[in-house]
Amino acid sequence: MALKFYGISVPISIVLATVYFYWITREKPGKKRAGQFKDMDVVVHKKPSSCSVKAGRGDLVHVHYTGYLKSTGKIYETSREQNDPYVFKLGTCNTKGKPECLKGFEKGVLGMCAGEKRKVTLPPQLAFGKTGRPPDVPPNDSIVFQIECIDVDSFK
């Protein structure tokens, strides 16, 4: 028995294929791929129910963070050992080797709200680069930060 061809089946097939392609290539929840995150991976684990102030340049940001080496998973630095969160002015670098001096860390904290948690994966060029940070971070290694924003003090 031969199959009968119906003209309407072609447009329906095109629409179904388009919907399927859109479905599999859409942005997944939790992933943030905005313009500021082109070269690094940022996953928002927890978003606060309300956000009145977002972290911006010049703001005092209170965070807890843990930095891991992507190659080994070893913790190389954390602020969670202290009771108080790590406080710094976003957009300034006072002491080399501190997280706020890493271009990627600053980009990862930018726009965070109090109560928000993010996982930020930095490529070597936005972390410690070709030199690394001996003896903790080898050269050309990616860094993974688990960041929890405790508070944002804005002076604008």
Confidence bin at 27 (pLDDT 50/70/90): low
C-alpha Rg value of the chain to the nearest Å: 22
Q: What count of Cα atoms within 13 Å lies in the side-chain half-sphere of residue 18?
A: 6
19 with 90: CB under 8 angstroms? no
Reported pTM: 0.70
149 with 114: CB under 8 angstroms? yes
Q: pLDDT tens, 76-119?
A: 889 988 889 989 888 887 666 677 778 888 888 999 999 999 99
Q: State the DSSP code for 55.
A: -
Confidence bin at 152 (pLDDT 50/70/90): very high
| 52-81 average pLDDT score | 91
> The tokens of 86 are what?
């790590």
Strands 86-89 and 31-32: unpaired
131 with 125: CB under 8 angstroms? no
Q: State the DSSP code for 95.
A: S
Q: pLDDT tens, 6-23?
A: 778 888 888 888 888 887
Between 47 and 101, whose confidence is greater? 47
